[in-house]
Amino acid sequence: MAAFNPVAAPHTHSGLSTTNIMYLVILALSPAALHGVWLFGLPAVTVLVSCCISAWLSEVVCLQLQGKNWLSSVDGSSLLTALLLAMSLPASTPWWIASIGCAFAIMIGKHVYGGLGHNPFNPAMLGRVMLLICFPFELTNWQATSSPSLGAEGLAFSQQWMGIDGVSAATPLADLNQVQAWNELLIGTHAGSLGETSALLIALGGLFLIWRGIIRPYIPCSLLLGIAIPASIAHWINPQDFASAFSHLLSGGAMLAAFFIATDLVTSPTSPRGQLLFGAGCGLLIWLIRSFGSYPEGVAFAVLIMNAGTPVIDHYLRPKIFGSQSLFKRSKGA
């Protein structure tokens, strides 16, 4: 029977849900993650699985401690954090280090601030930076790829693929003298972190998200331009010391940052103008840290620094109110 208690309009809903969004992002990430498993074998699986389990357990514990329904731990947000963190780690990371990082990301990066939607910093990147500071050796021990090769006798699995031993190698970012073919960078058959090597698969996943309307193209575009423009200028002035824009964009975590990390819904600004500024800031910082900092990779730091600026950006760069001329003193005229 019809209920007649007053409820506010609208009396219909698009059907979009937060959980849907989270799983769509996970779906978009999965090709690159699976590609990482193909490249690095069993160690990659270990890292991925230990991250996921650790994230889910931390989520359940935190929800219980806050008296919330623990069932909401399956909303996909912690799984997404785990996936992002795992993909930014080298495949040779020991399982316990990955687990600590993920627990830190969920507990300190997210729930200390009040849980989903309240964290000012990207939890995965917070976990990544914490690991980088605490375990600098393990976190910079990149593995050479060892994907199974298809020979005359069928698939041949290398020793590394089975997780027996790893051969460490430098990423293209750490070693500028090692010239990389652009198609190698695109497909991702070079050394690097678990899930960031294939720029192509990541970009395809990102385009899928844009097509589905989950993210808007402002942050990816401005972030990539934010790296490419200063990189091109520096490379044009001094090609010896500065990598080209191509190798900046296609190696390391640039693509992952552009489509999946900087676009994190919770920690990025919401207005188009704000997103453009945020993305450009991230891009510029990534290039600065990579070129002048003491770390070969700057994605995590750059994103965290810009996260800190998100509230300010959201406060000042609001969308233009319909019909109003001024961007700032808007409440006065209304």
Partner 1 sequence: MFSLKPKPFNGGVHPKGYKELTQQQDISKSFVPDRVYLGMQQRNGSMLNSLVAIGDQVTKGQLIARGSNDMTVPLHSPVNGTVEDIKPFLSSHPSGIKSQTLVISNNGDKRWGEDYPSSDYQKLSHEQIVERVLKAGVVGLGGAGFPTGIKLRLARKSKVHTLLINGGECEPYLTCDDRLMREQASEIIAGIKLMAKAIGATSTIIAIEDNKPEAINAIKQACDGFNGISLKVVPSLYPMGSERHLIKAVTGIAIEPGQLSTAQGILVHNVATAKAVYQAVRYQRPLIERVITVSGDAVESPANITVPIGSLVSQVIAECGGLKAEAKRMIAGGPMMGQVLPSPFVPIDKSVGGLLALSEEKINQRESQDCVRCGNCVKVCPMGLMPFQMAAHSNNDDWQGAQEFGLDSCLLCGACSYICPSSIPLVQYFQHAKSNINAQRSMTQKSNLARQLTEARQQRLAREAAAKKAAKAAKRKRPTRSRNTQGES
Instruction: Report the largest interatomic distance among the alpha carbons of the chain, rounded to a whole angstrom.
Output: 77
Using an 8 Å Cβ cutoff, are 204 and 265 in contact? no
| Helix or strand (DSSP H, E) at 154 | strand 154-156
Comparison of 164 and 320: residue with beta carbon closer to partner 1? 320
Residues 105-164 that bind partner 1 (CB under 8 A): 115-118
Cβ of 277: how many Cβ atoms within 10 Å? Answer: 21
Nearer to partner 1, 86 or 214 (CB): 214
Regarding 271 and contact with partner 1 (CB under 8 A), the answer is: yes
- DSSP category for residue 328: S
d(CA 268, CA 223): 12
What is the rounded CA–CA span in Å between residue 47 and residue 37?
10
Q: How far is the CB of 105 from partner 1 (least distance, A)?
A: 16
Q: Is residue 312 a contact point for partner 1 (CB under 8 A)? A: no
Whole-number minimum distance, CB 306 to partner 1, in Å? 15
Total residues contacting partner 1 by CB under 8 A comes to 50
Residues 47-86, mask of contacts with partner 1 (x by CB under 8 A): -------------------------x--x-x---------
Q: What whole-number distance in Å separates Cα of residue 296 and Cα of residue 140?
A: 9
Segment near partner 1 (CB under 8 A); pick from 15-23, 99-107, 156-164, 284-292: 15-23
Q: Cβ–Cβ contacts within 10 Å for residue 39, how many?
A: 26
DSSP class of residue 260 equals I
Taking CB under 8 A as the criterion, the residue among 60, 97, 204, 265 binding partner 1 is 265
Structure tokens at 69: 């329904």
Residue 229 burial (CB count, 10 A): 15
Residue 318 interacting with partner 1 (CB under 8 A): yes
Exactly one of 253, 270, 279, 302 binds partner 1 (CB under 8 A); that residue is: 270
Q: Binding pattern to partner 1, positions 210-239, x when CB under 8 A?
A: -x-x--x-----------------------
Q: Report the distance separating Cα 73 and Cα 152, nearest Å.
A: 47
Task: Compute the least distance from the CB of residue 314 to partner 1, in Å.
Answer: 7
Binding site residues, partner 1, CB under 8 A:
1-18, 20-21, 72, 75, 77, 115-118, 211, 213, 216, 265-271, 314, 318-325, 330-331, 333-334
